[in-house]
Amino acid sequence: MNKTVKYVIWVVVILVAVWAIYTLSNRQGGGPATGEPIRIGFIGPLTGEGASIGTINKVGAEVAVDEINKAGGINGKPLEIIYEDGQCNAIKANTAAQKLIEVDKVPLIIGGLCSTETSAFAPGAMEKKVIVFSWGSSAPTLSKLGKYFFRDFPSDIYQGKFSAEYIFNNLKAKKVAILYHNTDMGLGQKEAFEKRFKELGGEILGTESAVQAAKDYRTQLAKIKNLNPDVIFSPMYPDGAIVALKQASELGIKTTFFGGDAWGDTKLHKEVSGKGNFLFSEPSTPIVADFKTKILAITKGEQVPPFTSQIYDAVKIAAAALAKAGIDPDKLQEELRKTNYNGVSGQISFDENGDLKNANYVVKKIENGTAVEIK
């Protein structure tokens, strides 16, 4: 064997070794992901109701994907999310899910944000054995969907109970009226609130409801005004809440309104600020400073909207499970069920229903076009 042949052989050996090391480092998170991507779906409001939240939640997902792929992706393959607009609407969300499941063949959908979205498409996804991982849907009815459903946002049972206790104990309100959206979210919070408020010794003077798309609440508000409640509990989606709170101001209603996490929408804060005393509760999220900096640098906003931390964590958890279990739905749900993750939204683990095990809440007041936590 002459020197030239030996030289060529050594060059080939070195190149193969370098390639092997590079490939191994990618698989272990030591370099950028390459090759055919692993695709999952997203359903959330990018237009319409809740879009001011949903579009920034999408940024949270994109930041997670970018970090995952720079660290080697999923076993060396890049993660890719196919984004579909659910518009916080049952029909739109169901259409989006059909496309993701039947056309894109995704093994997992991150979504929806609104319970209206998730309640519409998740049952069909369960039949197809597609994992549904919601970062914002809170309706209690979702707990019984099936073994392929998970969420890192707490059920409305927790929030309704917390709201009742806060209003009774902290606001010293003993007589309350309720105005709610007749949706899975609104009904879930309303029922949990009523049960706990009555247990505490409080009185529900009356309840009024409206469909999510309602544009006039004057009739319901007039009835509530005549009841003279101490507080008006109002679990509503943001677009309807904006209309209702403005009309309440026009009708001269001075009573404190107390909403749920959907009132975390920055659009609502700007629209109703100065028109009344408006409080709302939302899950306590100890947002990590580095994460906040990343999101605000992209969005140019002043605060991180609700649910953004949860979607970031959801993508990270889903990617880790996919890396260990692959796309087989049964193995994937088993891996997700083992989750014990310290995320930017807090400690995350799931119960037998795929629900978040623990929930803590804060109360915020809308003032000066923003929401300020009440200490």
Output 9 or 215, whichever has higher pLDDT.
Answer: 215
Q: Once rounded to an integer, what is the mean pLDDT over residues 18-31?
A: 43
Q: What are the backbone dihedrals phi and psi of residue 38, each rounded to the nearest 5 degrees, phi first?
A: -95, 120
Closest CA to 109 of 66, 149, 165, 142: 149
Q: Is the pLDDT of residue 77 over 50?
A: yes
Other Cβ atoms less than 10 A from the Cβ of 75: the count is 16
| Radius of gyration of the chain from its Cα atoms, rounded to whole angstroms | 24
pLDDT digits (tens, 9 = 90+) for 313-367: 999 999 999 999 999 999 999 999 999 999 999 999 999 999 999 888 999 999 9
31 SS3 class: coil
The per-residue pLDDT of the chain, averaged, comes to 91
Residue 74 bridge partners (DSSP): 77
Q: Once rounded to an integer, what is the mean pLDDT over residues 196-211?
A: 98
Strands 38-44 and 108-111: parallel
Q: Once rounded to an integer, what is the mean pLDDT over residues 175-184?
A: 96
The answer to whether the CB of 276 falls within 8 A of the CB of 247 is no
Rounded distance, CA 197 to CA 170, Å?
Answer: 13
Q: What are the backbone dihedrals phi and psi of residue 212, each rounded to the nearest 5 degrees, phi first?
A: -60, -35
Q: Once rounded to an integer, what is the mean pLDDT over residues 239-246?
A: 97
Q: Return the pLDDT at 27.
A: 40
The answer to whether the CB of 159 falls within 8 A of the CB of 192 is yes
Residue 310 identity (one-letter amino acid): Q
Q: Return the pLDDT at 302.
A: 80
Q: State both tokens at 266.
A: 């920055």
pTM, two decimals, is: 0.81
Give CA separation, 326 vs 108, 128, 268, in Å: 11, 17, 41
257 SS3 class: strand
Q: Once rounded to an integer, what is the mean pLDDT over residues 194-205?
A: 98
Other Cβ atoms less than 10 A from the Cβ of 267: the count is 15
Q: State both tokens at 57.
A: 């939640």
Q: Is the pLDDT of residue 299 over 70?
A: yes
Place of tokens 């055919």: 36
Burial 305-332 (b: 16+ CB within 10 A, else e): bbbbbbbbbbbbbbbbbbbebebebeeb
Rounded distance, CA 83 to CA 264, Å?
Answer: 23
Give CA separation, 87 vs 99, 106, 111, 265, 363, in Å: 15, 20, 12, 14, 27
Place of tokens 């049964």: 330
356 SS3 class: strand
pLDDT-derived band at 29, boundaries 50, 70, 90: very low
The answer to whether the CB of 242 falls within 8 A of the CB of 213 is no
113 SS3 class: coil
Cβ-based burial of 55 (10 A; exposed 0-12, middle 13-18, buried ≥19): middle
Q: Is the pLDDT of residue 24 over 80?
A: no
Mean pLDDT check: name the lowest of 7-11, 17-21, 36-40, 52-56: 17-21
Q: Once rounded to an integer, what is the mean pLDDT over residues 252-281?
A: 96
pLDDT-derived band at 2, boundaries 50, 70, 90: low
Domains detected in the chain: 38-153+286-358 (3.40.50.2300), 157-285+362-373 (3.40.50.2300)
Rounded distance, CA 335 to CA 369, Å?
Answer: 43
Mean pLDDT check: name the lowest of 14-18, 192-196, 287-291, 315-319: 14-18
pLDDT-derived band at 15, boundaries 50, 70, 90: very low
